Amino acid sequence: MNRPLLWMLGSIVVLGLLITTMAGVNFSSQTTSTDGQPPIVLYCAASNRAVMEAIRERYEDEYAREIQIQYGPSQTLLSSVDVSGAGDLFLPADDSYLKLAQQKGLIREILPIADMQVVVAVRRQDAENIQSLDDILSDSVKLVQASPETAAVGKLVQQTLQQSGQWDDVSAATVAYRATVTEVASDIVVGAADVGFVYDAVLHTYPDLVAVELPELKPAVSRVAVGVIDQSKQPTAALHFARYVSAKDRGLIQYDQQGFQTAGHDVWADVPELSVFAGSMLRPAIEDTIAAFEEREGVTVNRVYNGCGILVAQMQAGQHPDAYFACDQEFMNQVHDLFPQPVQVSQNELVILVQKGNPHNIASLKNLAREGLRVGIGHEKQCAMGWITQNTFREGGVQEEIMPNVTVQTPTGDMLVNQLQTGSLDAAVAYLSNAAGAGEFLDAIQITGIECSTAVQPWAVNKESSHPETASRLFQKICSTESQEIFAAEGFRWRLESDEIR
């Protein structure tokens, strides 16, 4: 056998050894979870590597769950997520990529982490010479920018300066466009450029560079956020780590140290407990959604359903839920100091509920004043429905005539429905949603011509909540298409615009 052939055959043995070694090296490098669960796979922008490695290390120590992180450029990672459909979390350099991914249906939940301000980067010794936009536009200054086509920071600078009418001058003064923000910073470090637009957080790893803040760039702020990949096979575990990354007393400590702007956010809890107060009428519309949210997120939602008057009294007595879903705006107004930013989600109409077939021929509010009728309504102090009912009676000019027939005032509409079913009432004034599950034995008669007979349901998160982000995600779940369908089926009309959902 000739020597070359011998060597070639020998190379097969070498190849086998190489493959065995690589497999061995890889397997030995894996940290296995104590519970044998698969690792959480995170696609992470390379710019977040330093901070993410520190968080990963701490998380693995605390929970013995392996985190596998793939670093790369955000757009490349997005393509990988798109093509492979694998992985659990995606953390790009800024949230514009998450929005793009969400449009493609690749991302479910988004958890905000930190903000980044666009600033002018300049070498420390040149900082005195660069104080304004005019200084940057000087002929003697070499300006480089991240490309608006490839980098979010470039796009943000372009949008901001276009709005102030300064983009054309800045664009004309730019000597080169770079693909990424780190290339811009590196150019300035090595002296290829004098100034460039970068995120303030980027400069943390460039000790030779300093940031100059320009008033023109004040609105140029980007956000770092982590998204849960839609096809994740372990969303609860993924969300657990995502919550850890975005918790103010866990991951955000690292982000803060790296120069990112972190404010607000949740306090860390292994299994967060969220308390939600909601009007009883909303229970059928939101209960299933909340249960699904609990299961997916691995959190506990302590919900309290009751008449809104009672709930408001409890809150005024010192109970502070994380979120409040009121039956009507009026009750939200009463706790405005706790919930300063409510959004109106849905509306519900008052109707007259009667036995199936309408044996008493009731056609309008006025008919409820007939002698001998047993009428049930909500309690005006205990629930929004009772309060609105009284307003409606007043507006309709029938309050004094009907009230003698009112035999019961309950704190919730469900109780009225029950009493109608048992035959202890002939008619009741309740929400259309109260009758949604009782269509077989009740008829609903519309109240027409009186505007105030419609209740509007607002949602708000407590400004003192220790889990505002989790509460916001619950709200996003309540605003999902599936949830809106449940609202419609329960007799509610959806009124929140999609751009108001936060």
Partner 1 sequence: MNSVADRPPHPPTSIAPPLRRRSDAPFFLVMGGISSGFILLIVLLLAADILFVSFDDFVAALKKPEIQYAFRLTLLSCTAAALLSVWVATPLGYLLSRFQFPGRMAIDTLVDIPIVLPPLVLGLSLLILFHLPVGGWELESWLRDRVGFPVTYQWPAVVLAQFTVACAFSVRTMRVTFDQIDPRPENVARTLGCTRGQAFLQIVLPQAWRGMIAATTIAWARALGEFGPILVFAGATRMRTEVLSTTVFLELSIGQLNAAVAVSLLMVLMAIVVLLILRLLGTELGS
Residues that bind partner 1 (CB under 8 A): 2-5, 7-8, 11-12, 14-15, 18-19, 21-23, 25-26, 29-30, 41, 45-47, 49-50, 53, 68-73, 76, 79-80, 83-86, 180, 182, 185-186, 189-190, 202, 204-206
Q: Which is nearer to partner 1, 31 or 424 (CB)?
A: 31
Cβ nearer to partner 1, comparing 4 with 357: 4
173 touches 135 (CB < 8 A): no
DSSP codes, 426-461: SEEEEEGGGGTT-TTTEEEEE--S-GGGEEEEEEEE
Q: Could you tell me which of 147, 158, 204 has the C-alpha nearest to residue 180?
A: 147
Look at phi and psi of residue 397 and say left if phi exceeds 0, alpha if psi is from -120 to 50, else beta: left
CA–CA dist 264, 244 (Å, integer): 14
Q: How far apart are CA 69 and CA 60, in angstroms?
A: 12
Output the smallest distance, CB 10 to partner 1, in A. Answer: 10
User: Is 245 or 456 the residue whose CB approaches partner 1 more closely?
Assistant: 245
Q: How far is the CB of 152 from partner 1 (least distance, A)?
A: 14
**C-alpha 182: how far from chain center:** 29
Report in angstroms how near the CB of residue 18 gets to partner 1 at its nearest: 4
What's CA 181's distance to the chain center, in Å?
A: 27
- CB-CB contact of 428 with 352 (8 Å): yes
Find the shortest distance in angstroms from Cβ 59 to partner 1: 14
State the angle between helix axes of 96-103 and 74-84 in degrees (0 to 180), rounded to the nearest 10: 20
Please identify, using beta-carbon distances, which residue of 79 and 333 lies nearer to partner 1: 79
Q: What is the DSSP letter of 268?
A: P
Q: Which is nearer to partner 1, 75 or 392 (CB)?
A: 75
Cα 299 to Cα 289: distance, rounded to the nearest angstrom = 13
Closer of 201 and 310 to partner 1 (Cβ): 201
CA distance 79 to 77: 5
Name which of 202 and 436 has its Cβ closer to partner 1: 202
CB nearer to partner 1: pick between 25 and 172: 25
Give the Cα separation of 284 and 48 in Å (integer). Answer: 43
> Which CB atom, from 47 or from 174, has the smaller least distance to partner 1?
47
State how far Cα 348 lies from the chain centre: 25
Residues 6 or more apart whose Cβ sits within 8 Å of residue 371: 405
Q: What b/e string do you get for 195-233 counting C-beta neighbours within 10 Å, with b at 16 or more? A: bbbbbbbbbbebeebbbbebebbeebbbbbbbbbbbebe
The least distance separating partner 1 from the CB of residue 110, rounded to whole angstroms, comes to 22
What's the min distance (Å) between Cβ of 179 and partner 1? 11
**Cα separation, 153 vs 147, whole angstroms:** 8
Shortest separation between residue 284's beta carbon and partner 1, angstroms: 39
Distance of closest approach, residue 111 Cβ to partner 1, in angstroms: 22
Q: Which is nearer to partner 1, 5 or 263 (CB)?
A: 5
Burial of 7 (0-12, 13-18, 19+ CB in 10 A): exposed
- Rounded CA separation 315/320 (Å): 6
Output 189 or 343, the one with its CB closest to partner 1: 189
Kindly state the smallest distance separating residue 109's Cβ from partner 1, in Å. 23
How long is the chain?
502
State how far the Cα of 133 lies from the Cα of 170, in Å rounded to an integer. Answer: 9
Q: Which of 146, 163, 171, 158 is nearest to 93 (CA)?
A: 146
CB of 268 to partner 1, least distance (A): 24
- Look up residue 108 and give its two tokens: 């479910």
Question: CB of 148: closest distance to partner 1 in angstroms?
Answer: 20
